[in-house]
A = this chain, B = another copy of it.
Amino acid sequence: MEEPTTNHYREGQEGEERDPESNNTLQSPLLLKRNRTLSTNHLAIIGTKVSHIESLDYEINENDLFKHDWRSRSREQVLQYVFMKWILALIVGLLTGVIASLINLAIENIAGFKLLAVAKFIKEERNFEGFLYFTGANLALTAFASILVVCFAPTAAGPGIPEIKAYLNGVDTPNMYGASTLIVKIFGSIGAVSAGLDLGKEGPLVHIGACLASLLGQGGPDNYRVKWRWMRYFNNDRDRRDLITCGAASGVCAAFRSPIGGVLFALEEVATWWRSALLWRTFFSTAVVVVVLRAFMEYCGSGDCGLFGQGGLIMFDVSSVTVTYHAMDLLPVVIIGVIGGVLGSLYNYLLHKVLRVYNLINEKGRGHKLLLSLAVSIFTSVCLYCLPFFAHCSPCDPSLPDSACPTNGRTGNFKQFNCPAGYYNDLASLLHTTNDDAVRNIFSTSTPTEFHPVSLLVFFGVYCILGLITFGIAVPSGLFLPIILMGSAYGRLLGMAMGPYTRIDQGLFSVLGAASLMAGSMRMTVSLCVIFLELTNNLLLLPITMLVLLISKTVGDAFNPSIYEIILHLKGLPFLDANPEPWMRTLTVAELADAKSPVITLCGVEKVSRIVEVLQNTTHNGFPVVDQGTVPPIGLPDGASELHGIILRAHLVAVLRKKWFLKEKRRTEDWEVRKVFTSIDLAERGFKIDEVLVTKDEMEMYVDLHPLTNTTPFTVLESLSVAKAMVLFRSVGLRHMLIVPKYQLTGVSPVVGILTRQDLLAHNILNAFPDIKSKERGKKGKQITLEVSQQQNGNISSHEA
């Protein structure tokens, strides 16, 4: 055993981080006018350095082994596979439903007991003790959630939706779907939401669904996988992608009890590829989730679940309200939409700034992350506890029954708080309660005089601040609820202001406000519309909701991209957009390849030492296999070179690990490779070249790469425009794309270059071609908003993009 290759390659590249995906990185000395940014520096916003982002292999690797396996696959095995697909979709739905129910149960009980105790303190006028109790409990819960996240699973922080979106686009974020992430996300979410922080469990539920799906697909946690025969077909990125889509849809469904909304959310916001078959399976998963939730709520309806009453799942049932709106009511609706769009994009803008500041804090280490979370918790507790003391007590509406107003329990719309009997404190109804209940209270219909405008204004202001400072801390946090809280308050305020001019109920204004702010910030339309439809249970609201969403999204789009896109860029995830930039039409892939160093190819029968050298000195994940001087088709002279295909790094490492070496330089027969490898072996990944030991003798031996080479790579002609290449790359779901020459000439290499995801990102191309960049910057076109805006912010892009 000895270290076989010299290190001089490595030294030459020491200073520069390399793109793990690209075979030939953008580093031609001739064109080195660019500053490399995106591809190297993966900075996650909650401070965890995402170490090594890889692309996923969604393409089917059609090598000889696969083809043999495919031919020999019996009808029974195909049925097994189809059956397992559905069983997995069923289990994903079942587990997501059960876990969502248990999370709700835990939150309602923990938060409920906390709030009941506080109410008791206040009734006894032991206000300071109450404050200490409230703040202390919140601090402990926050600390619990934050320590879990910081110590065990940094990837569990935040909502997780951007990472899922990136995964389904073909970008693998490591440790994102592991067992530890799942467990921390569940318990962290319970802690954080119970702590009264301004965050929701909706985003985390989506992530939980995706984690469940991924773990199920691979047969369990990394170290304890079930090696069941039926499961082996699922150990590939394609099937995992489908499962994670199901999981994400189930999560949304569990969060909002909205099965169709869940499917549409997955379709509109999360997924990059979509097939009709997937629609159908996703729908099945969400149907299962709904059945589980319904059964659970029926069971708890009888009072067996402690303080978990009818609540938990947000469900703002306004079906009893008769919606009467006429042409003259259109104006307020339009106004809501416009303001929602402006506020939503403003929120995106400010959150972006806050997250960048938080990055600097979080980067300093675990202690800083924890302190930041605790500071936010204390600030939240102070706001929530103290502000209602400044509100006036309002007399109860005598038409209400005594039990309805004032209430002292955990839920209820008219909290007594510090008021005398017969009076209620409207601000306490909103602040001294769980977030879900706050939303339900603010959505309440036919109660036009319940809230004082000043109280609503205070509530709105507080939640604007909390919504900005809470999202970036190191706990599992969703974005939906903070935005709904802000939006509902602003909607109700607007409703009050418009009161004399419209017949729309204030509760509806509140719902519309929430919808408009979500559309203004998240830029979803159809899925959001369906979610609101299923939440409010009132179909008559549909046309008006559609109008508001359309206006808000349009207004928001005029200012900045959606919040998810902003987070994706902040995290440095190489997300491939659906639409190519206009300037990509005038750039060919050959020009792009020229800007990179020459492609590294392997021979069909390659020396072991060369393979080891290439693997050690590059981080590329795919190498074209080119045969020189093969026998050409009949009737033509010798000297042809042949592009045989592309081989993956993982498969090269597998060859070295199994030591499938040949003494002489020859091509092998079919049976030889099948004796050593199965297609299941090749599906295994995660081994590093550094872990492989090759002796000096073995170094001189040969490997026949032909049977392991994917002989059906996707290729593009060198004259293809980058725009079309990008469309192809994204629509088919590629990892590598080979560029073939348009010339036919002996001596020309049959592969001109290789393109990967990083090469097709607008931001990277612009950096490699300063001419285009400066021209585009001059134009300030709408299409390049984000790239340009980031670059104009100075050298921030080199930190974060």
Contacts and interface: CB of A to CB of B under 8 A. Distances in A.
A744 B742 contact: no
A275 B578 contact: yes
B712 A280 contact: no
27 contacts: A62-B724, A67-B586, A70-B586, A78-B781, A260-B260, A260-B530, A267-B279, A277-B578, A279-B525, A283-B550, A287-B547, A287-B550, A294-B543, A319-B539, A530-B530, A534-B542, A632-B745, A640-B745, A643-B742, A643-B744, A711-B719, A714-B720, A715-B716, A728-B728, A742-B750, A744-B744, A744-B748
A276 B268 contact: yes
Interface string A339-374: 000000000000000000000000000000000000
Interface of A: 60, 62, 67, 70-71, 75, 78, 259-260, 263-264, 267-268, 274-277, 279-280, 283-284, 287, 290-291, 294, 319, 525-526, 529-530, 533-534, 537, 539, 542-543, 546-547, 550, 553, 578-579, 582, 585-586, 588, 630, 632-633, 636-637, 639-645, 711-717, 719-721, 723-724, 727-728, 731-732, 738, 740-750, 779, 781
B728 A721 contact: no
Nearest to A317: B539
Contact of A71 (B586, B715, B716): B586
A259 B712 contact: no
Given A62-B721, A291-B543, A746-B746, 14 more contacts: A60-B723, A71-B586, A264-B264, A280-B553, A287-B550, A319-B319, A641-B745, A711-B719, A712-B719, A715-B715, A715-B720, A717-B740, A742-B750, A744-B749
A156 to B, nearest CB: 28
B542 A290 contact: yes
A280 B731 contact: no
Nearest to A298: B326
A240 to B, nearest CB: 19
B744 A640 contact: yes
Given A719-B712, A721-B712, A526 B744 contact: no
A634 B268 CA distance: 49
Contact of A287 (B546, B637, B724): B546
A78 B537 CA distance: 41
- Top 10 A-B pairs, shortest CB-CB distance: A640-B745, A731-B731, A744-B750, A287-B546, A746-B746, A640-B743, A641-B744, A712-B720, A643-B742, A715-B717
A750 B747 CA distance: 14
Contact of A534 (B67, B537, B539, B546): B539
Nearest to A70: B585
B279 A268 contact: yes
A579 B275 CA distance: 9
A428 to B, nearest CB: 32
Contacts of A259: 542-543, 546
A568 to B, nearest CB: 15
A728 B734 CA distance: 11
A252 to B, nearest CB: 14
B740 A740 contact: yes
Contacts of A579: 277
Max chain B C-beta neighbours (<10 A), residue from A70, A277, A740, A742: A742
A526 B67 contact: no
Contacts of A714: 716, 720, 724, 728
Contacts of A745: 632, 636-637, 639-641, 744-746
A635 B732 CA distance: 36
Given A712-B724, A719-B711, A745-B639, A526 B750 contact: no
